[in-house]
Structure 1
Amino acid sequence: MSTNPQLPVRPTTSLKLLSLSHACVDIYQGAVAALVPFFLSERAYSYAAASGIVLAASLLSSVAQPLFGALTDRWAMPWLLPVSALTGGVGVALSGLSGSYALTLAVVAVAGIGVAAYHPESARIARIASRGSHTAMGLFSLGGNIGFATAPLMVSAVIATGGLHASPLLVVPALAGAALCVAALRTVPLPATAATTAAVGGRPAGRDDWPAFLQMSGAVVCRSIVFVGLSSFLSLYARQRTEGGEFAGTAALFVLYLGGAIGTVAGGRLATRYGRITVVRWSYALTVPAVAGVVLVPGPLLYLFIALTSAGLYVPFSLHVTLGQDYLPRRVGTAGGVTLGLTVSVGGLASPLIGAAADAASLQTALTPLIALPALGWLLLRTLHEPEMPENVSATAPAPQGNTTSVSRS
């Protein structure tokens, strides 16, 4: 049983463009959580009501991600990238215009569908551009993490200045993201099927290993609940624990997201040296004491534990994607939809439970169970193995050039 080969691939122009577009789209995943404090202050929502908005963005996204993934396994759908970027941005941009809670839920849900549509196809195309390189795929994931990191700063700058009615200004990154998607698609030769995508990505399509894939996905769900739970309430919690104001909360979210950008880059490099499974296991193990520090340690030291938590959550992020695609080499769209989308979005399903616990007791009480989840993820990963390579295949074989179709430049 051999480890996944590493191909000496430098990031291409198309991969860089995809990474930038990923940043623009994932701003809208981070923006929903960043809007929560403003919904609480301007509309006097309870914790549970505010977390329901996070749920609205996550619920349809969770359902839609694997559906879009299954579709992209059957047909190449590159047009989804610019369309989904615009959809996600428009949904968030409209969220501050109406005082109606139902309408706010609806437009945020539309944003969630837009984000859902983007990830499976973008992961398939990024695999082609990266040719199977962990480091190159790390660059693609880094773009999404930068988007998350930028979201609270952008939301704070716009909404703190103009109030929720200034939310239409939040559509600007979506316009940029759509343009970047179009530019990227003009440079990538796209296979029509998942099996061909796996081959172009650096390894031939072998057998799908569903048990290993589902085992890994269970661990990623644990990570997702921790990440989304912290994203939804960390801004408010940091204000309480540091006795700071709005800046203290924005800074906490920024550290959480920016540390993820650093962790993603480190993850690809560490996996090249030590192997993906080893790096993923250690990341989950080290996240346990880091989350405990976030929940239990007061004062400015909180920010150190936020940074450590961010690194622990994000070092395995791009490795989840490549492992998932290698466990399901004939269904890379589905794998991307689950690892980049479903298991990320499903964390939002736990947000109302955390919000209800915070209303009934306190935020610290509500966040305490998050300490145990990385430990559960580590247990799920204990027996996980590297994906098997088909026999008699050279690890350094160049990517096939046939059976590809170029995207129209019209």
Structure 2
Amino acid sequence: MSTPTEVIVATQSEARPGAAVATTFPILVMLSFCHLLNDMIQSLLPAIYPLLKSEFALDFGQIGLITLTFQITASLLQPMVGMFTDRHPKPWSLAFGMGSTLIGLLLLSRAPSFPVLLMAAALIGTGSAVFHPESSRIARLASGGRHGLAQSIFQVGGNIGSASGPLLAAFIIMPRGQASIAWFALAAMIAILVLGRIGRWYQLQIPNLARPAMRAAGRAAYTRRQVTIAIGVLGVLIFSKYFYLASLSSYYTFYLMHRFSLGAQSAQVHLFIFLAAVAAGTLIGGPVGDRIGRRYVIWASILGVLPFTLMLPHANLLWTTVLTVVIGLVLASAFAAILVFAQELVPGRTGMISGLFFGFAFGMGGIGAAVLGQLADHIGIEAVYRICAWLPAIGLLAWFLPRKQDSNQIKVP
């Protein structure tokens, strides 16, 4: 039971379910822009793996370990950050988290050894752990009740950043070497300034926020058993989605270079095309979920991508490009719907749920990268893609998600 001094931040629409609250688009756009800068910086790490592999004589297992260090740092800290800030809002935490990313970026540009690379990855992961749950909370606060739309606007910035990182790495870092990574410190500095502005807005909202009245309604609409099963199913779907995405985001360039004899820059361009498709899919998924129901979006996006993943390992270069675009569009539409579905299962715990799901997604990506890297060393990268093609079949579990959300038995203004 909550103590009298406990501060739980909820959205204004949660605090007053019948109130009409306008969507604060300037804040959402600034959050999306900072998400772009944050994830652009983060995506530089896997994008420069070919450079690091050559520079430090790394094998696939060590490359997977770098990703694991980054992802596990982020995944372990995110739920704890979310739980803490549910009770103790920290408007300036976003700027401080980006400061950790800035230090990690500068360290990465000067790292003389593999252990220092791991340290830099951990610092960047720490910045991500602070950024994602708090930004997701503020996006919900600024949504005016249009939660799927707000999450999509927020997340598409991250996807655009993830897509642009490999392209920038291909044409800036790869030709100039490791030291040129430091040029991207300017992006982190700009993000710190914008996040300071967002923090001031957030600070002004805190005194006006009430304890979420929606929590009682949420418990009445969903039984404890339904919530437990639904969270478990959503977690397994996150595993399916991000384990598969790890095979593309971390090893797609190596796959193209090995199977089709592409050069590193050309392979990076193909990775950019895939990640751009992911960004477009993210923007589509949230608003569609607001209109037709998030359960349907989750079902279609995970299971619906299965025919395309099964064809991918057998396609030529042209069809590989086409199939990865379709896979990116369809698969990426799931996350906004999954996150908002989970937030509405447990009202009033936006930070904890956001941290849990962002953290779990990062963790699955990291574990996937490490496992698939070891597997690629033993059976080859093409065999890895044939195995991973079956992961979206796990989307069948979406059948067990409760249907109350789609029948509007929970009213979200």
Superposition TM-score tier, normalisation by shorter sequence: 0.7 to 0.9
Distance 2:215 2:401 in 1: 20
Residue of structure 2 equivalent to 1:356: 374
Residue of structure 1 equivalent to 2:54: 41
When you count helix as a share of all residues, which structure comes out higher?
Answer: 2
User: Is 1:383–2:400 an aligned residue pair?
Assistant: yes
SS at 1:132 equivalent: coil
Shift of 1:392: 10
The amino acid that maps onto 1:180 is V
Q: Deviations over 1:62-117 (max 9, x none)?
A: 11111111111211122111111221233133223223111111111111111011
Q: Deviations over 1:372-407 (max 9, x none)?
A: 22111x122111025669x998654xxxxxxxxxxx
Runs of 4+ in 1 over 4 A off after TM superposition: 4-11, 192-195, 202-205, 386-389, 391-396
Taking a change above 3 Å as real, the CA distance of residues 301 and 93 of structure 1, as seen in their structure-2 partners, is farther
Residue of structure 2 equivalent to 1:19: 32
Contact 1:32 1:57 (C-alpha < 8 Å) held by counterparts = no
User: Is 1:318–2:320 an aligned residue pair?
Assistant: no
SS at 2:205 equivalent: strand
Contact 1:25 1:177 (C-alpha < 8 Å) held by counterparts = yes
Shift of 1:148: 0.7
Residue of structure 2 equivalent to 1:302: 320
Residue of structure 2 equivalent to 1:66: 79
CA RMSD, 1 decimal: 2.7
Aligned residue pairs total: 388
Q: Deviations over 1:213-256 (max 9, x none)?
A: 23212211221111122111011112223322122211122112
Distance 1:236 1:193 in 2: 52
The amino acid that maps onto 1:381 is A
Residue of structure 2 equivalent to 1:327: 345
SS at 1:171 equivalent: helix
Residue of structure 1 equivalent to 2:310: 292
Taking a change above 3 Å as real, the CA distance of residues 204 and 266 of structure 1, as seen in their structure-2 partners, is farther
Distance 2:139 2:217 in 1: 17
Which of 207, 218, 224 aligns to 1:206? It is 218
Residue of structure 2 equivalent to 1:186: 200
Shift of 1:324: 1.6
Matches within 5 A, 1:73-88: 73-88=86-101
Matches within 5 A, 1:190-269: 190-191=205-206, 196=211, 206-207=218-219, 209-269=227-287
Contact 1:217 1:338 (C-alpha < 8 Å) held by counterparts = no
Distance 1:193 1:346 in 2: 37
Residue of structure 2 equivalent to 1:404: none
Matches within 5 A, 1:89-168: 89-133=102-146, 134-168=148-182
Distance 2:270 2:45 in 1: 16
Distance 2:369 2:45 in 1: 12
User: Is 1:277–2:292 an aligned residue pair?
Assistant: no
Distance 1:392 1:193 in 2: 27
Q: Could you tell me the TM-score, scaled by structure 1's length?
A: 0.87
Distance 1:40 1:194 in 2: 50
SS at 1:341 equivalent: helix
Percent identical residues: 26
User: Is 1:340–2:358 an aligned residue pair?
Assistant: yes
Which of 42, 56, 59 aligns to 1:29? It is 42
Structure 2 portions without partners, runs of 5+? 1-16
Shift of 1:43: 2.1
Distance 1:204 1:137 in 2: 24
Contact 1:223 1:313 (C-alpha < 8 Å) held by counterparts = yes
User: Is 1:50–2:68 an aligned residue pair?
Assistant: no
Q: Deviations over 1:254-289 (max 9, x none)?
A: 112111111112112322332111011011112212
